[in-house]
Amino acid sequence: MSPRLAMMEPMEDPGCSSPPDGAGPCRCEAVRARQLQRALTLEYVTVGWNVVEGVIAVAAALSADSIALLGFGIDSFVECASGGILIWRLKAERSDHSPGQVDQLDRRARRLVGLSLFLLAGYVGVEAISTLITLERPRPSWVGIALLVVSMGVMRWLARAKQRAASELSSEALAADSFQTTACFWLSVIGLSGIAVNAALGWWWADPVAALVMSWFIVREGREAWRGQTCGCH
């Protein structure tokens, strides 16, 4: 299951201390700058990977009429939007915004992430039900299977790295984004299950059923992101 903010522990840096006699800037500022840069790098990687992933997934989904793969592909573009929101939030802090302004931006960014998840869940759910009602039979997609396998590894690594960065920065928005990346990992697992079963056994309904499971999972992640939680690390 996805990580909880309540379980996150602050990560202290032994190099964060005030210089003797108040000479020079606090070393904490340099540490914070490095943490912000690491978080920004993770978001740039997220956006770049998801653009490639989304294009391949949507193209494969349209070719195979796979709603599970289409939902996964659209989620990749939602993840791009989420990454863009986090880049905006992190850059705002680097632009010397006050702590109060940063907190306000963090809450706004977190809710935008949650809203994007709700919209995606609604779309995937409606399309999956429509596919089941109309008996539209998706075809197996070997390109989709390969993409989902690779995505599982990439999303797992990114989610863990973002979780650490969120703890360092005490950022609920970044933690919400790590939830979304974790959700993307589980969407890879769920989508792979449905598509693989269809390819191996010819059970066409496994594809839209997997998409329905995806939509439930996405709603849950969106609710957590929207509500937000405190990690006790401020």
Rounded-to-integer distance, Cα 117 and Cα 223, Å: 9
The residue among 141, 121, 171 whose CA lies nearest residue 10 is: 171
Determine if the pTM surpasses 0.85: no
Q: Check: CB of residue 90 under 8 Å from CB of residue 38.
A: no
Total domains in the fold of the chain:
1
**What pLDDT is stored for residue 1 in this prediction?**
44
Residue 113 backbone dihedrals phi, psi, to 5 degrees = -60, -45
Query: Does residue 23 belong to any structural domain of this protein?
Result: no
Which residue range is the domain that position 181 belongs to? 36-226
Q: Check: CB of residue 80 under 8 Å from CB of residue 156.
A: no
CATH number of the domain within which 62 lies:
1.20.1510
Query: Does residue 15 belong to any structural domain of this protein?
Result: no
Identify the residue with better confidence: 136 or 22: 136
Q: Where are the alpha helices (DSSP H) in 17-98?
A: 27-64, 67-94
Query: Does residue 16 belong to any structural domain of this protein?
Result: no
Per-residue pLDDT reduced to its tens digit, 52-107 = 999 999 999 898 888 878 878 887 887 887 788 788 878 877 766 666 776 777 67
Query: Does residue 2 belong to any structural domain of this protein?
Result: no
